[in-house]
Chains A and B, each alone.
Chain A
């Protein structure tokens, strides 16, 4: 085994070290979407019966709709940074689990991008929706668009705290959108 080095300029250790230095590959979007679906199933099956799960999703959708309804008028008169955190939605992040003050903007942006990718992959089965669900989704998408406009700098300048709050809210909205798009399959299963 060791005499291999006599046939080449590289020692076996050089090849081994080079192999070890190969970068980690980023899982594709397909992997991320499949993993997300697996995690949803694994988590909810163990924690709640199916009917409770459906009720919880409806409750979440209702709370989001209420939050949007309450926050919307404020935004109409006060275009500027949203400094208060969105209480209706909590998105699981590493920072949440470790008990830190909150995720960084980078973490929120990454989570938001990930949810975008999930949304691109998952929603096909949810094209036919109830009117109430559809209107909630529209309201959420409009709110995301408004946040994007604020984050992109149109209108009033947003400070760091405001940007963090906006990104946190965006992640929450995206997470809810993913849940809502998955909702019709749950309704059928009732």
Chain B
């Protein structure tokens, strides 16, 4: 489930954060830091880039927080900003050059990803091409619609659907291969049954 789901902030705390109250800002931003960083990392597959994008996201959040009207939840609003920053990164010429120079993705250093299905799936996600990864993560995890994804990526809904289909097929193929490999068999079987 998306890390943003279920993050509901008390309106009083949001109001205090909007007025620049340090404690309220601290509470809100610390709770959002992990979902934002996770989203950025899952999409761009680079720790350094995820750090930069997380920082850029919070710069935007803090700059525009007083303008937040509460039409969506604060977590959803922040997620929109984070996704937007990621999309801007993907569109940048610098990123295209960097990706061309270094296609290998950087595995997550987080200890929770060191074992079992999480590592296999995290690796598999990193092997997808950029557009497939964006589509499968935004659709399957963050709950975006194909129309929303098409608007974000500048592609058509059909492109989003076909990318999703290919991404899922690739992920299944890699996961099935991982199951066949001896290293993580036990963990994978357990998690799949569950």
Residues of A within 8 A of B137 (CB): 19
Chain B residues lying within 8 Å of A14, measured Cβ to Cβ, are 172, 192
B169: interface (CB < 8 Å): yes
- A46-B20 CB under 8 A given contacts A19-B136, A26-B110: yes
B47 and A28 contacting across the interface, CB-CB below 8 Å: yes
Q: A25-B34, A27-B37 are in contact. Are A18 and B22 (CB under 8 A)?
A: no
Q: By the criterion CB–CB under 8 Å, are B21 and A25 in contact?
A: no
Return the contact of B37 from the options A20, A25, A44 (Cβ within 8 A).
Answer: A25
Q: How far is it, in angstroms, between the C-alpha of A21 and the C-alpha of B1 when the chains are bound?
A: 6
Cβ of A154 < 8 Å from any Cβ of B? no
* Contact between A46 and B169, CB atoms less than 8 A apart: no
In whole angstroms, how far apart are the Cα atoms of A82 and B168 in the complex?
A: 58
Docked pose: A12 CA to B22 CA in angstroms: 44
Contacts of B132 in A (CB 8 A): none
B153 within 8 A of A: no
Choose from B3, B109, B169 the contact partner of A4 (Cβ within 8 Å). B169
- A-chain residues with CB within 8 Å of residue B58 when the two chains form the complex: 34-35, 38
| A43 within 8 A of partner (CB) | yes
A41→B25 CA distance, assembly (Å): 11
A21–B122 CB distance below 8 A: no
CA distance A21 to B170 in the complex (A): 18
Q: Is the interface of A mostly helix, strand, loop or mixed?
A: helix
Residue of B nearest to A18 (CB): B121
Residues of A in contact with B (beta carbons under 8 Å apart): 1, 4, 7-10, 12, 14-16, 18-28, 30-32, 34-35, 38-47, 92, 94, 96-97
- 25 A-B pairs within 8 Å (CB atoms) are namely A4-B172, A7-B172, A9-B172, A9-B176, A12-B172, A15-B171, A16-B140, A18-B117, A18-B191, A19-B125, A20-B1, A20-B2, A21-B117, A22-B42, A22-B141, A23-B112, A27-B33, A31-B54, A35-B29, A35-B30, A35-B54, A38-B59, A47-B21, A92-B23, A97-B27
The residues of B with any CB-CB pair to A shorter than 8 Å are: 1-3, 13, 19-27, 29-30, 33-35, 37-38, 41-42, 47, 51, 54-55, 58-59, 62, 65, 108-110, 112-113, 117-118, 121-122, 125, 136-137, 140-141, 161, 164-165, 168-169, 171-173, 175-176, 191-192
For the complex of A and B, 8 pairs with smallest distance between CB atoms: A46-B20, A43-B22, A92-B23, A8-B172, A16-B140, A23-B112, A27-B37, A42-B62
